[in-house]
Amino acid sequence: MSFKSKFVGVFGAAILTFGAVAGVAAQSASAPVSVQVNGSGKPLSVVLENTQAFGAVSYNADAAQPTTGKFKITVSDPRGTGEGWNVKISASDDFRADGDKSFPLANNLTMTDGSLEGNAKDVSKSSVNMTTAQQTILSAPTKSGMGNVTYKDINTTVNVPAGTLSGTYKTTLNVQIASGPN
């Protein structure tokens, strides 16, 4: 047998062997990957702060006297549930001073034009004309609002009606946070 015949025979056997190996069916395997993400165990919270006091006004028998201040509302949602939330605000009563002095809350206290900052996403803010009924001032839809957000520099105006007697008039603002979008 010549060298050429031996070479072709060996080479042919290698090709047949390679072909047989290449024809083996592919196999695969899989394994699940599971990761548990736990909430912080801390509750949803809200804080209301007066950040700029209201200035004094002078008695005026003929015209309302506006005075302005600023508030901020801070919300923390560390739960990790994606439930969303809403913050409602109300006042406890009309403005009252010592004795029988008072003036109505309705149309005399407004909150507008603040800005949002923080890492909570898709938070909505609203202006309110304050009453004793709860009104939504901040909200986050489902799968939003997680983390922290501050609604800061909320311009707050009190219009002291014409003819309001001298005194220090007060009301109390209340905020309440609830789980779930508005």
Q: Which two tokens stand for residue 59?
A: 């008695």
Give a yes or no: residue 55 inside a domain: yes
> CA of 62: how far to CAs of 12, 57, 59, 108, in Å?
113, 14, 9, 16
Span 34-82, pLDDT tens digits: 888 887 889 999 999 999 999 999 999 999 999 999 999 999 999 999 9
Give a yes or no: residue 137 inside a domain: yes
> pLDDT band for position 22 (50/70/90)?
low
> pLDDT band for position 16 (50/70/90)?
very low
Structural domain including 119 reads 48-163+175-179
- pLDDT in the model for residue 46: 96
- pLDDT in the model for residue 34: 84
Q: Is the confidence at residue 8, as pLDDT, over 80?
A: no
Kindly calculate the radius of gyration of the chain based on its CA atoms and give it in whole angstroms.
35
Give a yes or no: residue 158 inside a domain: yes
6's enclosing H/E stretch is helix 3-22
Give a yes or no: residue 119 inside a domain: yes
Give a yes or no: residue 141 inside a domain: yes
> pLDDT band for position 150 (50/70/90)?
very high
| Total tally of structural domains belonging to the chain | 1
Give a yes or no: residue 23 inside a domain: no
- Predicted TM-score (pTM) of the model is 0.78
Give a yes or no: residue 43 inside a domain: no
Name the one residue in this structure whose structure tokens are 């062997």: 17
